[in-house]
Amino acid sequence: MMKSKADEEDFWHSSKCKPFTFDDEDDEFSKLKESKQTVNNIRPLVDEDEDDDDVEKVSWSGEPVGSISWSVRETAASNQRTDREPTLPKSSTDTPAISRSLSGYSLSALFKGKTRGGNFQSFTDSLSDSSARLYAPELRKPKSEYKDFVSDWSPEETVHRMQQGKAVSLEKFRSLQDKLFLLDFAVSANDGNVITAVLIYLKRTLSKEVLFRELQSRQMALRHFIHYLTEIRDQRLLLELFRALGRTEDVALLQYKEHLSIADENKRRDFLKSCLNLPFSPEDSAHVQDHYTLLERQIIIEATDRQAERGGKVEIFQKFPRRASILNMPLITTLYYCCFYHYPESEGTYSSPLNIRQTFRISEKQYFVTALAARAKVKAWLDVDALFACRNWLGFTRKKSPLSFQRVVDILQKNSAPMQVLQEYVGLVDDSDLRISLAQKHKCHDIVINTYRDMKDRQLLLGYLPKVERGSVEEKKINELLNNLQIRWKN
Amino acid sequence: MAAHLSYGRVNLNILREAARRELREFLDKCAGSKAIVWDEYLTGPFGLIAQYSLLKEHEVEKMFTLKSGRLPSADVKNIIFFVRPRLELMDIIAENVFSEDKLHSSRDFHILFVPRRSMLCEQRLKEQGVLGSFINIDEYILDLIPYDGDLLSMEYESAFRECYLENDQTSLYHTAKGLMTLQALYGTIPQIYGKGECARHVANMMLRMKREFAGSQNQILPVFDTLLLLDRNVDLLTPLATQLTYEGLIDEIYGINNGYVKLPPEKFAQKKQGESSKDLPTEPKKLQLNSAEELYAEIRDKNFNAVGAALSKKAKIISAAFEERHNAKTVGEIKQFVSQLPHMQAARSSLANHTSIAELIKDITNDVEISFPVSASESFFDNLTVEQEFMTGVDTDKVNTYIEDSIAQKDPLIKILRLVCMQSVCNNGLKQKVFDYYRREILQTYGYEHLLTLNNLEKAGLLKPQTNSRNNYPTIRKTLKLWMEDANEQNPNDISYVYSGYAPLSIRLTQVLARPGWRSIEEVLKMLPGPHFEERQQLPAGLHKKRQQGENRTTLVFFLGGVTYAEIAALRFLSQMEDSGMEYIIATTKLINGTSWIKSLMDRPESQTP
């Protein structure tokens, strides 16, 4: 805040006269007294030894009996069975209706209920008529209602009083300059509560253009204003503010966020479409476009599939009834769904996995994992096999995978692939230690036996003998190997 | 019950007592029988201050949880709402009050705002037409809650989000206020150091508030010598790493909330013969964790790999103590043995509990070579390996295969975000290609709406593309010795044991400040965000401490935006080091771990926010 010295003098001078002081204490003095009081109140406590919860009882759930969250449940429960509710002893001794004299305290404390510093006053006990009711500082009361205690507080004093929770009227700050002084003092006091109160007043009494302009040079106040608008969910004004500030990406994201509160899928889709032109960053813009395209497709797929399922003519839906709608699911989940129900479709359809892969630029690995899991789930082992097919230039097929074969086995096993299938992929694991432990786990005896044979490890092979079934082919094979004199065992 | 608060270097029970007294005074102000309607969130923090018995003494007969609709019936004179100043809660209160009036009831209504009243809320009540129904509207200033003998927490969950994402500094105002209260009780803190924008802001507010109180000299001999204010965003790395102390792991795996943890019950069942497994409890076992429990205080800050040994040592001691009964021959000896029984029983049940917890954790973390099925433990181990690679600067500029695979397996999103953020932080931002790749994979797998979350993480500086500036993390790591090979987990000689190799940056800064001073690391301080500063507060003559030879100094370290249990363990380790000459008391806005922290930054649909 920049002011010339003379201005400042003027300003202070004008606020010097206090025609009617509601608070009859000097502010500085009262503050001092309060802080001292706080400290004094607190000190003797250390010696007080009245804590009777030394012995802690613990309920099964481990929560100490008598802890607050335990008691909330208990007392609430006892409330439901009122018939046999044990009445708590009402002690008449420990709640004396302290009837302190009011004289020591400013009248304005009535509007607050307590003076500053945490020293509560029990004034309500001493006053029983309705006039003792408490009113918070009211910001919107017409001026006439305030005539009893309107006073000429300076902006600074006003802020002080607000900080102390005392009644004030902001209505008398009429000129823009006054209002801004008020705001600046509130900001320099750092009390968010007061800043917000002033902002509410400014929002009501200033035009948007002026308010936005002034806030631009007052970052702290601006942040509180944004927070305030977020709190009261005034989306419209918030968007206007962001636009005025040129914070275009914030505008875009804020608007985009709205889609989450739209339940109807068609409305949501249309809303997302309207978001496409928002000023996102280039990367985000592509993602939002994808989001829209995805929902658009999901709506089409959902409608078609629901019908197909009801019709009862499509085998796959009979065999594996759909558990949930595909609407609003993530892209990869959608891909899985399509690999599950629409795998053989040509690239031309919306629900074709290949089409989805293309449209959304899904990485090879992601596509592979998803298709593998889905095809394994429907036990289409030929499809699984085909995923790995790779012809080299001589025309031989060889199994290749963007994924380690260990992971492949893992995925297949999770989808309860039969032994023959598992065995094939376990055999493709390169690392022999890993291969053996995988084979042992999945009881692929052949692989274990062959690996030990290749390692020329007689001891291990011998050790494996008890793990295969008596009289089985595997047992026979091991015995044959052990008796084979042509193998040069290393041990 | 709160005795453990007074054992430490600084008697934090004073603070708790002050808070209890205020509560009593407010309750007495509402004369007659009462029912309290709780904002459920507050019951946890309040539990650290008071028990139901205190409330009952002041005629609180019923307690309910705040819910919309009609208030449960209760034959009481006063209904008191204990709530945080949040608009949506005001709407519920208004609904409660409205349905009440129709019921010809003559109950009086009061509101107690925690920790501050808010004009915004009062205005909302007024708009709803119920403001006039309240006899008392008050505030209960609960800024710093004593959490343990050396630990204060504001339990202000959203502080980091508000400060670094929404630029809302309300929590900092509360912090400054809390520190003023603390100084009123424990004396003016003569020296203030700080690092970070928020730290600077808090220090400014404190100095300003002190000026406003000028004239009222605080006549208390200062308990704290130094205050160190640290912004969480100065050290974004530490909370992302998996904590490896006992307490840290309990928090990582099960989550410690307001000093309590909920555990799966199976391992806690006392097996009786002939009991079928059907009778086993299904409700989670809830345990309170703090230094009041001797054994817990002993083991909580150890690296988990050292906990097993400590537990078995303790078991031997306890069983030896029980064996003593055979030696008790005379009546006097027997009497003495019996008198020790309660203590021994408590020690035994404490040992049983922690053995069970250690077992639970072991099941998850167990060091496996190649064991199958692909289990939680393997994933824990792999996860840790990747974290350590990032922290030592290995391949942080490439797409990480483990992260890629974890996304393909649809592991929990938060796990992915923790790792990706860590990689970004350790690389001073990701290469644009890597950044784009991760973002696309995450959005495709978990849903496009997470775009909002990703943008939040970017704003907070956790997940960002690399700008032109070069990666200065290696320099920081080397200068501050953030990575220590062969960290000794059993008998630590350096704070790096808390993460089995990684020494938390925040604690290194604290350590260097004590000795040899920040001047030695000016270069690094400049690389970290925000200003660093030093302020002095004048003490009245006569309050200057005359230090005894060899007497330790006391520093209050305040973490703005949260602190992890492992960081606390590291500070406790420094306090206990013989030659450190410094004792640390810790204060924070909230106790956090990587998961709770990232969660607080995520964007959820409006409908889901409480």
Indicate which CATH number applies to the domain containing B28. Answer: 3.40.50.2060
Cβ separation B65–A76 shorter than 8 A:
yes
Name which of B59, B137, B605 is nearest A134 (Cβ-Cβ): B137
Cβ separation B216–A36 shorter than 8 A:
yes
H or E segment and range at residue B445? helix B432-446
- Say if CB B94 and CB B128 are below 8 A apart: yes
Cβ separation B26–A41 shorter than 8 A:
no
**pLDDT for position B374:** 46
Task: Identify the three-state secondary structure at position A175.
Answer: coil
Is residue A71 over pLDDT 80? no
Per-residue pLDDT tens over the stretch B206-227: 998 888 876 667 788 899 999 9
3-state secondary structure B229-298: EEEHHHCCCHHHCCCCEHHHHHHHHHCEECCEEEECCHHHCCCCCCCCHHHCCCCCEEEECCCCCHHHHH
Least confident stretch, A34-48, A332-346, B249-263:
A34-48
Residue of A nearest to B18 (CA): A42
| Residue-averaged pLDDT of chain A | 75
Chain A closest CA to B434's CA: distance in Å? 13
B115 cis-preceded (ω within 30 degrees of 0): yes
Q: Which chain B residues are closer than 8 Å to A63 by Cβ? A: 260, 286, 288
- Say if CB B48 and CB A74 are below 8 A apart: no
Cβ separation A288–B372 shorter than 8 A:
no
How far, in Å, are B38, B178, B230, B534 from residue B203 at the CA level?
34, 12, 11, 9
Cβ separation B436–A197 shorter than 8 A:
no
Name which of B1, B123, B447 is nearest A56 (Cβ-Cβ): B1
Site of tokens 């790995």: A388
Task: Identify the three-state secondary structure at position A318.
Answer: helix
Q: Which chain A residues are closer than 8 Å to B117 by Cβ? A: 136, 165, 193
**pLDDT for position B357:** 94
**Bridge partners of residue B260, in order along the sequence:** B257, B288
Chain A closest CA to B6's CA: distance in Å? 10
* Beta-carbon pairs below 8 A across chains A and B: 279
In a mutagenesis test of the B interface, which of A32, A41, A58, A69 is the best target, namely the one with the most B β-carbons within 10 Å? A69
Q: Which two tokens stand for residue B122?
A: 């009062």
Most confident of A161-170, A204-213, A384-393: A204-213
Chain B closest CA to A138's CA: distance in Å? 8
A34 pLDDT tier (thresholds 50, 70, 90): very low
Cβ separation B213–A32 shorter than 8 A:
yes
**pLDDT for position B467:** 85
Cβ separation A256–B452 shorter than 8 A:
yes
Q: Which chain A residues are closer than 8 Å to B61 by Cβ? A: 75, 88, 90
**pLDDT for position A271:** 96
Q: Which two tokens stand for residue B92?
A: 């519920």
Cβ separation A253–B455 shorter than 8 A:
yes
A420 pLDDT tier (thresholds 50, 70, 90): confident
Cβ separation B213–A231 shorter than 8 A:
no
Cβ separation B184–A88 shorter than 8 A:
no
Say if strands B191-195 and B532-536 run parallel, antiparallel, or are unpaired: antiparallel
Q: Which residue has the higher pLDDT, B221 or A147?
A: B221
Chain B closest CA to A58's CA: distance in Å? 9
Is residue A112 over pLDDT 70? no
**pLDDT for position A140:** 44
Q: Which chain A residues are closer than 8 Å to B161 by Cβ? A: none
**pLDDT for position B305:** 93
Cβ separation A91–B448 shorter than 8 A:
no
Q: Which chain B residues are closer than 8 Å to A231 by Cβ? A: 87, 120
Name which of A75, A125, A193 is nearest B119 (Cβ-Cβ): A193
Domain boundary among B142, B157, B189: B142
Cβ separation A64–B51 shorter than 8 A:
yes
In a mutagenesis test of the B interface, which of A56, A68, A111, A414 is the best target, namely the one with the most B β-carbons within 10 Å? A68
Least confident stretch, A201-210, A369-378, A403-412:
A403-412
Say if strands B191-195 and B151-153 run parallel, antiparallel, or are unpaired: unpaired
- Tell me how crowded residue A318 is: count the other CB atoms within 10 A of its CB: 10
Chain A closest CA to B567's CA: distance in Å? 27
Cβ separation B141–A88 shorter than 8 A:
no
**pLDDT for position B215:** 63
Chain A closest CA to B138's CA: distance in Å? 7
Name which of B1, B17, B281 is nearest A45 (Cβ-Cβ): B17
Name which of A35, A197, A260 is nearest B449 (Cβ-Cβ): A260
Is residue A93 over pLDDT 60? no
Cβ separation B131–A51 shorter than 8 A:
no
Q: Which residue has the higher pLDDT, B129 or A91?
A: B129
Least Cα distance to B245 among B302, B310, B295, B305 occurs for B302
In a mutagenesis test of the A interface, which of B168, B175, B209, B400 is the best target, namely the one with the most A β-carbons within 10 Å? B168
Cβ separation A118–B285 shorter than 8 A:
no
Cβ separation A260–B605 shorter than 8 A:
yes
**pLDDT for position A89:** 39
**Parts of chain B with a pLDDT under 70:** 1, 101-105, 214-216, 269-281, 367-378, 545-550, 604-610
ipTM of the complex: 0.86
Q: State which residues form the domain around B77.
A: 3-142
Burial of B209 (0-12, 13-18, 19+ CB in 10 A): middle
∠ CA B391-B395-B400, rounded to 5°: 95
3-state secondary structure A56-104: CCECCCCCECCCHHHHHHHHHHHHHCHHHCCCCCCCCCCCCCCCCCCCC
Is residue A64 over pLDDT 70? no
- Tell me how crowded residue A103 is: count the other CB atoms within 10 A of its CB: 5
Chain A closest CA to B597's CA: distance in Å? 21
Cβ separation A124–B136 shorter than 8 A:
yes
Chain A closest CA to B56's CA: distance in Å? 9
Task: Identify the three-state secondary structure at position A350.
Answer: coil
Cβ separation A95–B284 shorter than 8 A:
no
Name which of B56, B136, B606 is nearest A261 (Cβ-Cβ): B606
Least confident stretch, A196-205, A216-225, B320-329:
B320-329
B507 inside domain: no
- Say if CB A304 and CB A314 are below 8 A apart: no
> What pTM, to 2 d.p., does this model score?
0.81
B454 inside domain: yes
**pLDDT for position A10:** 45
B411 inside domain: yes
Residue of A nearest to B178 (CA): A117
How many Å apart are CA B472 and CA B466, to the nearest integer? 11
Q: Is the dihedral of CA B203, B208, B212, B215 positive or negative?
A: positive
Cβ separation A137–B119 shorter than 8 A:
yes
Residue of A nearest to B116 (CA): A193
Q: Which residue has the higher pLDDT, B546 or A132?
A: B546
**pLDDT for position B535:** 97
Q: Which two tokens stand for residue A218?
A: 């007052």
Q: Which chain B residues are closer than 8 Å to A330 by Cβ? A: 444-448
Cβ separation B370–A79 shorter than 8 A:
no
Name which of A70, A98, A119 is nearest B28 (Cβ-Cβ): A98
**pLDDT for position A102:** 32
The mean per-residue pLDDT over the stretch A201-205 comes to 92
Cβ separation A284–B455 shorter than 8 A:
yes
B112 inside domain: yes
**pLDDT for position B287:** 92
Least Cα distance to A356 among A307, A266, A296 occurs for A296
Residue of B nearest to A250 (CA): B455
Number of domains in chain B: 2
What is the identity of the amino acid at B165? L
**pLDDT for position B529:** 94
Q: Which chain A residues are closer than 8 Å to B138 by Cβ? A: 113-114, 120
Q: Alpha carbon B328 to chain centroid distance?
A: 46
In a mutagenesis test of the B interface, which of A193, A225, A411 is the best target, namely the one with the most B β-carbons within 10 Å? A193
Q: Which chain B residues are closer than 8 Å to A157 by Cβ? A: none
Q: Which residue has the higher pLDDT, B297 or A8?
A: B297
| Domain boundaries of chain A, sorted by first residue | 5-135, 153-246
H or E segment and range at residue B504? none
